[in-house]
A and B are shown apart, each in its own frame.
Chain A
Amino acid sequence: MGGTLTCVHTSVNDMEGVAKVSTSDTALTVRGLGKNFGGVTALEGVDLAVRRAEAVAVIGPNGAGKSTLLKLIAGVHRRDSGSIHLGDHRLDRLPPHRITRLGVALAHQVPRPFHGLSVRDNVRIGAMAAGPPMRGPEIADLLALCRLDTKAARSADSLRVLDLKRLEVARALATRPRVLMLDEVAAGLVGRELDEAIDLIRQVHERGTTVILVEHIERVVREIVDRVLVLNWGRPIAHGTPAQIAVDEQVRAVYLGDSSSPGGSATARSPSANQDMRSVEQDTAVTASQRGTDDVLVLDGVTSGYGDMVALRDFSLRLGRGQIVTVLGANGAGKSTLCGTLMGTVATRTGRITAFGRDITRLPAHERARLGIAYCQEGRRVFGDLTVAENLRLGAPLSLGRGEVEGRMERVHTVFPVLAERAGQRAGTMSGGQQQMLAVGRALMADPSVLICDEISLGLAPVAIDALYRALAEINAQGVAILLVEQNVKRALGICDHAVVLSRGRVSYQGGSAGLLDDADLDAAYFGTDTTDAPASTGASHSGSPARTTGEPS
């Protein structure tokens, strides 16, 4: 079984389950699966054997390749290497509709109903994909199972988010799948909605359908599946029962950041160094208050989201001049939504956002940028066809004189020397780390007072992360306040003054960063070891903690 699964941390039984191919009770076998998009490896050497009527979860941080795995199995994307078998049928060379007919169904994360058709017709069309066609009573049963029976005649456009997800599942079930794949169907659901979604998946599973889940919500995984496969950067890193995975050191390291200390680098701030910085900041805070304001950014009871989905609920935060605040939380916790809401790319529903004492709640993104808020989006978002120098110049306002632009560029070059060396190169041809430096450098060209960084260490080698965090410390020392959204908990906590932990759109912890690594709240937010059913109560016990006021050591 040499090398079928490179990093297995689990019992021999499970290993055999992985290695066994195409035995009578194996529903789906994936061997050595690999996929590249452009030059990026999305998936490499993934092995997975799912037994009949088993429920398996695939988890991992953003960009781990989870959705890619499901889409390769469903035939939406073509694999570059490896094979996929359903029983004795080889799937990886078949077109998607043939795969569906063989009994593999995929329910997408973002529901895509046929607009203008009724709920029943949507399900009926799903049923056409696989013969023999379902008759009326069967469709009625299916709608009842998914609790859509009372809404069968309604247009799919009129459904709310939970019902849309149910419809997505119902449509997948209508193809009579032997293997049902669910891509984050519980994402964005809370409270009773989540209970009902779990209940639905469990019922489907209990009727003998093989279930493969991609899920971020730990509770869904824990309550439904028998086995978990953990992916990170396209590679399998662990495999075992939910309980085994929850205590797996490597998995914890992936979710909470590299455990190796960034020793010796300027980014590492011991708690005492943190205190030193605080006293420095208190000094700057004094000068700032003399100018009238000491908070550069204030969010007050902000709720925002996309379409029907609320991703950030009643969120309040203060970012003081020259302060670094870190926002932590698992995938789907609402971190990127928070950044988008701050920048104006996600609309604020209720609440108020103030920058430099001015209400900016309704201001469009480009005007917020001109006020001095810079935003490094997740995924770098450099303009790949433009040169490095062109990218940088775009960060400066168009009205700025040429001399001043070149001056700022030189300052960025001193922070990131590689950007000077590569000035004439097309940005898209640089490495990920260099592109990330370009993204940060481009943001600095605006000479911002506030820098918002969304997942800037994602996918980078430790040495690149070291360089970036050194640069962040340098930028911060020049008085720029930083809002840091990170998955790499250890790195982020090493640099910040104040931390916020988000859990499904709500604040579950707010306060000083010291000691948070061992805190139960962090574990609850990432691994759901605590009861996540009552995020409100957790939030109440912590929000309003002393560190909410700037500059005060907590």
Chain B
Amino acid sequence: MSLDVLAAGILAGGLYALIGLGISLVFGVLGLMNLAHGELVIGGAYLASLLVVDAGWDPLAALPLAMATMALIAYPLQRYLLTPLLRDSKSAPLVATFGLSLLGQALFQAAFGTHPKALPASYADTGLSMLGVRVQTVYVIAFGLTVVLCAATHLVLTRTRAGSAVRAASADPGTAAVLGIDVNRVYAMTFAGAAALAAAGGVLTGVAQSFTPSSGLPLLLTGFAVMALAGIGSVGGVLAAGVALGVLQSVSVSLFGGGWRDVVVYLAFFLVLAVRPQGLFRKAHAA
């Protein structure tokens, strides 16, 4: 097996980690499985396509705008739709996110058609040589950006007071409220942050490969697999899990052929859930 396969796996894993990070953040803080996360990712790609395809921007220039716009869309969704549902039961918001997922797909179809789209960029198809290993340029950029965004998320959560408010609301929302923290707002901010991360993942995915309105589902499932591998509550674990999954996929494709790609991913997902439900990169919590 060549080093190229390993390197391709590591770099692809960066994108998986970026998508998994948003899912993990929402699940960790709100206790909500966001089934519409794939549509947040693809939505980011479509938003960027407005600037990239129609106005000729560079995808990396469109990326911050796509992130901000998805955050602005996500905030009211959480604050005025999902949070009120969250108060009553755990299953209602889950079903609501599934509805949002279907609605998102229908919206993409109506607005952009079902034809595959891609975000053209000079670095989309080029490769470069690093330490004698051939890699795709776009994945190098994606990996670098993922590391930056993971580090930023980690620093915000651990080094700022707003970040500790998020961790407090996640650990014990009742006590957080008693301390004067507006928990509903923390939830909405967290969801908006996750949506921004999703949009960033979407733009990079859109450069690396083409996408259609229904491309969100496989991305969502990959994100779930990353979260299951990582466990809840550790940004570094998410990054490691994404890379592990990327390598696993890349190696299995080179050994068994492309048809086995998803089988290996979902098998890993299942095995981790069955054997180590707290995730690979997290110590079991004391009761």
Say yes or no: B164 contacts A393, CB within 8 Å. yes
Chain B's closest residue to A339 (CB) is B178
B4 within 8 A of A: no
Counted as pairs of residues, one from A and one from B, with CB atoms less than 8 Å apart, the total is 64
Say yes or no: A390 contacts B178, CB within 8 Å. no
9 other A-B residue contacts (CB within 8 Å) besides A386-B167, A405-B161: A38-B286, A366-B176, A381-B172, A383-B172, A386-B171, A398-B162, A398-B165, A442-B179, A446-B179
Whole-angstrom distance from the CB of B269 to the nearest CB of chain A? 26
Say yes or no: A394 contacts B178, CB within 8 Å. no
Using Cβ atoms and an 8 Å threshold, which residues of chain B touch A364?
177
Among B164, B175, B182, B287, which residue has its beta carbon within 8 angstroms of that of A381? B175
Say yes or no: B287 contacts A394, CB within 8 Å. no
B residues neighboring A (CB under 8 Å): 161-162, 164-165, 167-168, 171-172, 174-183, 286-287
A residues neighboring B (CB under 8 Å): 37-38, 343, 345, 364-366, 369-370, 375, 377, 381, 383-386, 390, 393-395, 397-398, 405, 442, 446
Residue with the highest number of chain A CB atoms closer than 10 Å, among B161, B167, B174, B287:
B161
Say yes or no: A370 contacts B180, CB within 8 Å. yes
16 sample A-B contacts, Cβ–Cβ < 8 Å, listed by A number: A364-B177, A366-B176, A366-B177, A366-B178, A369-B180, A381-B174, A381-B175, A383-B171, A386-B171, A393-B164, A394-B161, A394-B176, A397-B180, A398-B165, A405-B161, A446-B179
Using Cβ atoms and an 8 Å threshold, which residues of chain A touch B176?
366, 394
Q: How far is the CA of A442 from the CA of B168 in the complex (A)?
A: 13
Using Cβ atoms and an 8 Å threshold, which residues of chain B touch A383?
167-168, 171-172, 175
Among A38, A369, A386, A397, which residue has its beta carbon within 8 angstroms of that of B168? A386
- The B interface is mostly helix, strand or loop, or mixed, namely helix
Chain B's closest residue to A375 (CB) is B178
Say yes or no: A369 contacts B179, CB within 8 Å. yes
Given the known A-B contacts A375-B178, A383-B167, are A366 and B183 also in contact in the complex, defined by CB atoms under 8 Å? yes
Whole-angstrom distance from the CB of B184 to the nearest CB of chain A? 9
Given the known A-B contacts A366-B180, A369-B180, are A394 and B174 also in contact in the complex, defined by CB atoms under 8 Å? no
Residue with the highest number of chain A CB atoms closer than 10 Å, among B176, B177, B182:
B177
Say yes or no: B178 contacts A365, CB within 8 Å. yes
Say yes or no: A345 contacts B171, CB within 8 Å. no
Q: How far is the CA of A369 from the CA of B181 in the complex (A)?
A: 8
Q: How far is the CA of A446 from the CA of B177 in the complex (A)?
A: 13
Given the known A-B contacts A37-B287, A38-B286, A384-B171, are A345 and B165 also in contact in the complex, defined by CB atoms under 8 Å? no
Chain A's closest residue to B185 (CB) is A366
Using Cβ atoms and an 8 Å threshold, which residues of chain B touch A394?
161, 164-165, 168, 176, 179, 181
Among A38, A377, A393, A405, which residue has its beta carbon within 8 angstroms of that of B175? A377
Using Cβ atoms and an 8 Å threshold, which residues of chain A touch B162?
398
Using Cβ atoms and an 8 Å threshold, which residues of chain B touch A381?
172, 174-175
Using Cβ atoms and an 8 Å threshold, which residues of chain A touch B172?
381, 383
Whole-angstrom distance from the CB of B164 to the nearest CB of chain A? 5
Q: How far is the CA of A54 from the CA of B171 in the complex (A)?
A: 44
Whole-angstrom distance from the CB of A86 to the nearest CB of chain B? 27
Using Cβ atoms and an 8 Å threshold, which residues of chain B touch A395?
179
List 10 tightest A-B contacts by C-beta distance, closest first. Answer: A369-B180, A365-B177, A381-B175, A390-B164, A366-B177, A375-B178, A366-B182, A370-B180, A38-B286, A383-B171
Residue with the highest number of chain B CB atoms closer than 10 Å, among A385, A386, A398:
A398
Given the known A-B contacts A38-B287, A383-B171, A383-B172, are A398 and B161 also in contact in the complex, defined by CB atoms under 8 Å? yes
Residue with the highest number of chain A CB atoms closer than 10 Å, among B168, B175, B181, B182:
B175
Q: How far is the CA of A67 from the CA of B176 in the complex (A)?
A: 28
Say yes or no: B164 contacts A386, CB within 8 Å. yes
Q: How far is the CA of A405 from the CA of B178 in the complex (A)?
A: 18
Whole-angstrom distance from the CB of B188 to the nearest CB of chain A? 14
Say yes or no: B168 contacts A345, CB within 8 Å. no
Using Cβ atoms and an 8 Å threshold, which residues of chain A touch B174?
345, 365, 377, 381
